[in-house]
Amino acid sequence: MKKLLMVFLCILFCAGTELAAQGKEKLAILPFTGELTETERDAIAEIFSYSKDLANVFALIPRTGISQAIRNERNFQMSSGMTNPDTIAALGKELGAQYVVSGTVSKLGEQNLLIISIIKIDDLRQITGDIQTYTRIEEIQDTLPEMAQTIVNSTRNIPVNLPKLAILPVEIPANVEKSAADTLAQILSIDIIRSGKYAVYPRTSSLEQVTAEYKEQQSKNIDSQSRVDIGQGDNPRLVLQVAARSLGSNTMFNASIIDVETNIQEAGDSVNYESLSDGINSMKELTVKLTGISEDFDIQKQQALAQQDASERQQQRQIEEAELSAQQDSIMNKRFFIAPIIGGSSGFWEYNPDLAPSNFMIGGQFQFQFTKYLALEWDLAVGYGESTTSVHTSDGYNEKWQMETSGSFAIMSPIMLNATFLLGSFYISAGAGFGVFWNMGDLMAGGVFNATGMLALGLGTQVTIGYQLGPGILFAQFIVNTGFDSPEIGGGTMFIGQLGYKFGFGDRE
């Protein structure tokens, strides 16, 4: 029986996990490329995948499935700097992923860089990316959570209807490794995405190939699936190409944006640099010149994300406040309330101030709600405890007072008219009415009340403070019940404190 129960619980847990994942888009994290050992590639990708921020937004594809897909994809080069869009498309399609994260560890001049990008598979648009510099490879581990958060923030609100821009690898002198060209292109892509002016589509092909792909994709004879394969998703009409040039002793990056349909240059500019180590700053400066966006666009992007987060938090607060208000209206719209109560009482007898009855009380409370702010309350509780009183004795010669304790049985039953308020989650009520509290002590002896019997019959007042908890209200109530003074029936004043939880039913409207 226990085994069957364990199997059932496992099935239930797996089913719940699957249902939770169904609402999320799938994300594949590829092994990082660059001059790394296989262990280092896997370690970086695995640590990145452990981000709780990613897991909250995406359904992460297991590393084993990704490794198998890469073994099947011959064009994936672990040592290359930039993963070809063709390869990303093939891997994403095989893995069933909507997004693919690729990363590379590279060197640009004297700078060590870690670059991460996320690609949307259906159109092969780069959504965002991040760049971090490091001195020792061990430092990478500490930068990955922040980079994961950057990825998550950018996928929350993807800009639409932006001009589409393909970015080619940077042309560099023949004596410089190709990985540097890929790295510069990746930096430039990230900077242009952050500027918010273009939707970026990284390419590893030449301008001629991109132009051919664009024109082929526009052909009416190509079906939609072939367009994704041939043109790698959306093929932008605009293409950005950058080349490292020299003029005498000056070295520069020259950039131009070309419309491949009209074959017209739409924009162009140049920035000087001293060495490839200046690549990060040079690409940022080039982005500012090409887009016309202020050089503080990183700050603007962060401010926009902060504003977006603040807006989302405000919307969440508004939703929670609306839900709370609806729940409050639902509670205060009830016609009847009932509550179990538990508490204690203590008091004094006007005829014998030394009388001190105290009781443990248990019972119930019924409330009829006339309006949202006016209610009639009736409490009925019984209790048992003890009464302590001073008793006078005399033997004809000597008089003395002594304290005696006896059992005490009590009934409480006040009826009060209350004003009721629900302020946020706090419930407040105050009222007055007719109260009955009968402390019978040892009840009767020879047909008359003895000294421990008392009756508080008269004005009852109450104050209640509560807190909305779930479908009802948890409350603490304090009641004062004052009766008239009569030696025959033992009038007095009682103080009652009680706790309860009231449920409402029957809507007034």
pLDDT > 70? residue 393: no
Q: Check residue 470 and give its pLDDT.
A: 82
pLDDT > 90? residue 212: no
Type of residue found at 406? S
pLDDT tier at 390 (50, 70, 90 boundaries)?
low
User: 276: helix, coil or strand?
Assistant: helix
List pLDDT tens digits, range 137-192: 888 898 898 889 888 888 877 888 899 998 888 887 776 666 777 788 888 888 89
pLDDT > 80? residue 368: yes
What span, in angstroms and rounded, lies between the C-alpha atoms of 194 and 187?
11
Q: DSSP letters along 112-137, please? A: EEEEEEEEETTTTEEEEEEEEEESSG
pLDDT > 70? residue 446: no
Selected residue with higher pLDDT from 507 and 420: 420
DSSP H helical segments within 96-219, as ranges? 140-156, 178-195, 207-218
| 446 Ramachandran zone, left/alpha/beta (phi>0; psi -120 to 50) | left
pLDDT > 80? residue 325: no
Q: What are phi and psi of 275, to 5 degrees?
A: -150, 170
- Segment 343-352 shows an average pLDDT of 74
pLDDT > 80? residue 253: yes
Q: Check residue 453 and give its pLDDT.
A: 55
pLDDT tier at 2 (50, 70, 90 boundaries)?
very low
What span, in angstroms and rounded, lies between the C-alpha atoms of 441 and 342?
20
Q: Check residue 433 and give its pLDDT.
A: 92
Q: Report the share of the chain in percent with pLDDT over 70.
A: 69
Lowest mean pLDDT among 16-30, 36-50, 85-99, 295-309: 295-309
The domain 333-507 having CATH identifier 2.40.160.20: the answer here is yes
Q: Check residue 70 and give its pLDDT.
A: 66
pLDDT > 70? residue 21: no
Selected residue with higher pLDDT from 142 and 69: 142
pLDDT tier at 12 (50, 70, 90 boundaries)?
very low
**DSSP, res 171:** B
The domain 20-158 having CATH identifier 3.90.76.10: the answer here is no
CA–CA distance from 390 to each of 351, 454, 493, 494 (Å)?
12, 15, 18, 18
pTM for the full predicted model: 0.52
- Segment 371-397 shows an average pLDDT of 77
Selected residue with higher pLDDT from 438 and 210: 438
Q: Which residue has the tokens 């948890």?
A: 474
Q: Parallel, antiparallel, or unpaired: how do β-strands 125-134 and 164-167 relate? A: unpaired
**Do the domains 20-158 and 333-507 sit in the same CATH topology, yes or no?**
no
pLDDT > 80? residue 447: no
Q: Check residue 303 and give its pLDDT.
A: 57
- Segment 26-46 shows an average pLDDT of 85
Among 438, 432, 435, CA closest to 359: 438
Selected residue with higher pLDDT from 73 and 343: 343
- The mean of the pLDDT values for the chain is 76
Tokens (6 digits) for 165: 């821009």
pLDDT tier at 316 (50, 70, 90 boundaries)?
confident
- Segment 32-44 shows an average pLDDT of 83
pLDDT > 80? residue 341: yes
Selected residue with higher pLDDT from 201 and 230: 201
CB distance 257 to 239 below 8 Å = yes
Per domain, the residue ranges of the chain are: 20-158, 160-293, 333-507
Selected residue with higher pLDDT from 228 and 141: 141
Tokens (6 digits) for 85: 């869009």
What span, in angstroms and rounded, lies between the C-alpha atoms of 28 and 67?
11
Q: Report the share of the chain in percent with pLDDT over 90.
A: 14
Other CB atoms within a 10 A radius of the CB of residue 298 amount to 13
- Segment 331-357 shows an average pLDDT of 78
DSSP H helical segments within 274-368, as ranges? 279-291, 297-332
Q: Check residue 7 and give its pLDDT.
A: 45
CATH number of 160-293: 3.10.110, 3.40.50, 3.30.420, 2.40.50?
Answer: 3.40.50
Q: What are phi and psi of 394, to 5 degrees?
A: -155, 140
Other CB atoms within a 10 A radius of the CB of residue 469 amount to 12
Q: DSSP letters along 66-89, please? A: HHHHHHH-TT--TT-SS--HHHHH
Selected residue with higher pLDDT from 181 and 116: 116
pLDDT > 70? residue 242: yes
Among 274, 313, 128, 148, CA closest to 202: 128
Q: Check residue 224 and give its pLDDT.
A: 41
CB distance 25 to 98 below 8 Å = yes
What span, in angstroms and rounded, lies between the C-alpha atoms of 450 and 508?
48
Highest average pLDDT, of 7-21, 304-318, 428-442, comes from 428-442
Type of residue found at 234? D
CB distance 473 to 424 below 8 Å = no
Using N-to-C axis directions, what is the helix angle for 85-95 and 63-72, rounded to 10°?
130
Other CB atoms within a 10 A radius of the CB of residue 495 amount to 17
pLDDT > 70? residue 74: no
What span, in angstroms and rounded, lies between the C-alpha atoms of 478 and 430?
10
- Segment 257-261 shows an average pLDDT of 88
